[in-house]
Structure 1
């Protein structure tokens, strides 16, 4: 494997790390953001909710608008905007300015994850595609395993401005790697509005997208308000909260590694069951701990939630790409939108419940979402779907 190919693979992985951190960074410093910007916890949480809304619309739209753009130019420019945008947020004077800058930055960042998945798919054989896509999505796991704990600790000692500055640097590094390593003139199959229509008419794809929305909603009911909930129910410190994010992220990273190794033998359908079930077990344990104020049970819940979250999403991406290879950019863009719809639902509903003081109940509602996702999973056994691009 050539040096340029290696730089491209790791650049795409770190680009997903940067994207994940850009999306999730406010969750890692929610209370500090609220204090520093003189707003409530729920208002600080809206930085995630409103950002997710922008992303869920921006992902398919940007995939369509940029379908004929050289991937090297597109991905490098996207990461550059993310770096500049978060650098500007670190210098912003008020909550309103942070919100506007964040929404503008995320409107552009929406392009990265789906185009990264389709780009790596163009660089490998059909047989190697599921493992290659799962590999670059390790970046999202790393964003939680290493990125969020670092944001939490940096914000605790250097304030929320330091947290955004770190996120800006995290976008700059893969920008350089992809500028050096990614080949020129790499362009996927053209997409049109008809391409998205073809996907939306396919029952298998629609069920897969529904699973994504549901399990992400269940996760984000707990995840976005993790720090404040831990503090209120157990008196957890910033360091403990950072360790909890690290536990969640490390298990997500390990889960993705395991998924990469087993998906070739078990197939996407069976592998998906394993990790969706881990999501359900995690929420059950979290809810039991939250009801009793037990930090150990809540940590056990984060163990399983982390192990299930990242690989569940990676397998969803791989299953969609395998279902309609010619429409990988469109299907992954729709799945990315589904992720952000789930984030908006989970964080929005979580904010309402948090404001109402329903902290132990957050996990219980999440169980309903993930249980419904598992019910739909039963109808998605792999079968060949003849979906092709429509010009």
Structure 2
């Protein structure tokens, strides 16, 4: 039984890898896409920004719509749609078709995330749920940090079409793994839309969503410009930057394991320590940025903290709205993507206004805001629990 549960969690994580790989992998081949369709790189960037916008818009709504359906069928529907649109993208004759093929599945991105997290949590006891979810989160880390270099490498040594076939291959493998190995998962007690939406009446839920947006803004204000920083400030070669990204990803996977364990044992303390720890790393990066070996050591810790941020944000929202898990996970994906958009914009402003080495200060500002929001949320949550006894 334990083996089958581990296999299910692995398949759920692989599915998330396929979806994140489709979303983020495109970043590594934007120049080739711009060339292929004869558009500017900023126009090609719409393949990333409009995808994220569709995810943010759909996040609070579509997981709610699908919350009563058999979870296995929902996952097959989402992954099947990603597979079909991946294939269309490979053969798209013009940029408009490529853009439409990207945006359509993006709306169902939060549906898969929501179902995967809820399913992972449902297979274990309540106190073990953060640990199971952190394992599914490995798919996020792998998609972000392994997907981009793999896609870029395939495009460099062969063709852009073959690189995009990698997205389709991962989603095809996921589809058949779900079909063959995941049992039917009917929803026994369907919650009404009203009962799920009623969690929005709780101030602690809104505070949790704001905290998630601050955390993800602080994480992406700096991470979005990882390669830029390594090139301009640390003066690393392209090959060295790729190696650092892989190193970042490996430690990020370790971070998932630690985050799940620590959130299970003491969530409030883990959340409070996180913004302080990442803020300190950002300050050290500012002062040590020009030195290769200190930067390599800092990247090891940064990778661990990166995935802590993702895990804490998800846990913070879902624990505040535990009575509506599908809706709560949808809110996490929406506010997480909102954080990515805000953080990247603010990081970009620091670079254009002050220079690349100052990008870390955007991250520090959001870490201060995160810390204040976590403290406030913790005190409200405790007083709610005390009041209910």
TM-score (norm 2): 0.87
Alignment of 1:39-54 (within 5 A): 39-54=39-54
Distance 1:253 1:333, change over 3 A: same
Instruction: Give the aligned partner of residue 257 of structure 1.
Output: 257
Instruction: Give the aligned partner of residue 170 of structure 1.
Output: 170
Instruction: Give the aligned partner of residue 273 of structure 1.
Output: 272
Instruction: Give the aligned partner of residue 321 of structure 2.
Output: 324
CA distance in structure 1 between the aligned counterparts of 2:32 and 2:234, rounded to whole angstroms = 18
CA distance in structure 1 between the aligned counterparts of 2:283 and 2:38, rounded to whole angstroms = 35
Distance 1:103 1:229, change over 3 A: farther
The secondary structure found in structure 2 opposite 1:69 is: coil
Q: 2:317–2:331: 8 Å Cα contact kept in structure 1? A: no
Q: CA deviation at 1:124?
A: 2.3
Distance 1:143 1:185, change over 3 A: closer
Distance 1:298 1:24, change over 3 A: farther
Q: 2:131–2:257: 8 Å Cα contact kept in structure 1? A: no
The secondary structure found in structure 1 opposite 2:141 is: helix
Instruction: Give the aligned partner of residue 123 of structure 1.
Output: 123
Distance 1:307 1:60, change over 3 A: same
The secondary structure found in structure 1 opposite 2:186 is: coil
Q: CA deviation at 1:365?
A: 1.4
Distance 1:343 1:236, change over 3 A: same
Q: CA deviation at 1:106?
A: 1.0
Distance 1:170 1:102, change over 3 A: same
Q: CA deviation at 1:187?
A: 1.5
Distance 1:188 1:16, change over 3 A: farther
Q: 2:141–2:249: 8 Å Cα contact kept in structure 1? A: yes
Unmatched 5+ stretches in structure 2: none
Q: 2:17–2:139: 8 Å Cα contact kept in structure 1? A: yes
Instruction: Give the aligned partner of residue 146 of structure 2.
Output: 146
CA distance in structure 2 between the aligned counterparts of 1:299 and 1:48, rounded to whole angstroms = 28
Greater alpha carbon shift after TM alignment, 209-218 vs 317-326: 317-326
Q: CA deviation at 1:216?
A: 1.2
Q: CA deviation at 1:386?
A: 7.7
Greater alpha carbon shift after TM alignment, 28-37 vs 2-11: 28-37
1:371 to 368, 373, 381: 368
Alignment of 1:82-121 (within 5 A): 82-121=82-121
Please give the per-residue CA displacement for 1:60-108, whole angstroms capped at 9, x wherever unaligned: 2111111111100101221121122223223334444332221112112
Alignment of 1:171-190 (within 5 A): 171-187=171-187, 189-190=189-190
CA distance in structure 2 between the aligned counterparts of 1:208 and 1:33, rounded to whole angstroms = 38
Instruction: Give the aligned partner of residue 345 of structure 1.
Output: 342
Q: CA deviation at 1:372?
A: 0.9
Please give the per-residue CA displacement for 1:262-299, whole angstroms capped at 9, x wherever unaligned: 3333x111122333334323333344455xx5444554
2:309 to 288, 295, 312: 312
Q: CA deviation at 1:53?
A: 1.1
Q: 1:218–1:370: 8 Å Cα contact kept in structure 2? A: yes
The secondary structure found in structure 2 opposite 1:60 is: coil
CA distance in structure 2 between the aligned counterparts of 1:78 and 1:314, rounded to whole angstroms = 23
Alignment of 1:197-212 (within 5 A): 197-212=197-212
Distance 1:386 1:134, change over 3 A: farther
CA distance in structure 2 between the aligned counterparts of 1:103 and 1:146, rounded to whole angstroms = 23
Q: CA deviation at 1:210?
A: 1.2
Question: What is the root-mean-square deviation of aligned Cα atoms in Å?
Answer: 2.9
Q: CA deviation at 1:36?
A: 4.9
CA distance in structure 2 between the aligned counterparts of 1:310 and 1:8, rounded to whole angstroms = 21
Instruction: Give the aligned partner of residue 241 of structure 1.
Output: 241
1:334 aligns with 2:331: yes
Q: CA deviation at 1:338?
A: 0.6
Distance 1:95 1:319, change over 3 A: same
Matched residue count: 384
Instruction: Give the aligned partner of residue 10 of structure 1.
Output: 10
Unmatched 5+ stretches in structure 1: none
